[in-house]
Amino acid sequence: MEIPRRRRSRVNIEMSPLIDCIFQLLIFFMLSSTFLTPSIRLTLPQAGGASRPESDPIMVTLDAESNVFVNKDPTSLAQLANALKPLIDVSEKKVVTIRGDEKMPYELFVRALDAAKSSGAIHVNIAHESKSP
């Protein structure tokens, strides 16, 4: 007597979708690599006076002894707005950066921020150092 055995089913991996994915990836990388370098080489002409050079950054420095400096020039807190006004007027971006000592009084920072805004600064940056991990 013969015992019927079940035949094992063969496990097949369908290769068509894998080949399609590989070809799509190949086409993607071929196209994206051609966009990295321009195919047309140009030497662009130079313009004489079309653009103005950027103005120097406006830096307000406040130290722990309540000394105030505008671009390395000492000034008083009462005269800070008057010292910033001509610099901001000629500035293209009207940005003031405030650097302060970590031990300076908070009131000094707020008054310097008010002076920068009242003299026409549109944006005020606060300079800081990153802590090392």
The predicted structure's pLDDT at residue 26:
94
Q: What is the dihedral of CA 68, 70, 73, 75, to 10 degrees?
A: -40
* CB within 8 Å of 85: residues ≥ 6 apart: 119, 120
Instruction: Look at residues 88, 80, 83, 129 and name the one whose alpha carbon lies nearest to residue 109.
Output: 80
* CB within 8 Å of 80: residues ≥ 6 apart: 60, 68, 70, 111, 112, 115, 116
The predicted structure's pLDDT at residue 33:
77
Q: What pLDDT digit, counting tens, does each position of 10-66 carry?
A: 788 889 999 999 999 999 988 887 666 555 565 666 766 555 555 678 999 998 888
Walk me through the domains of the chain, giving residue ranges and CATH numbers: 58-126 (3.30.420.270)
Residues 97-107, mean pLDDT to the nearest whole number: 89
The predicted structure's pLDDT at residue 92:
86
92, 54 contact by CB (below 8 A): yes
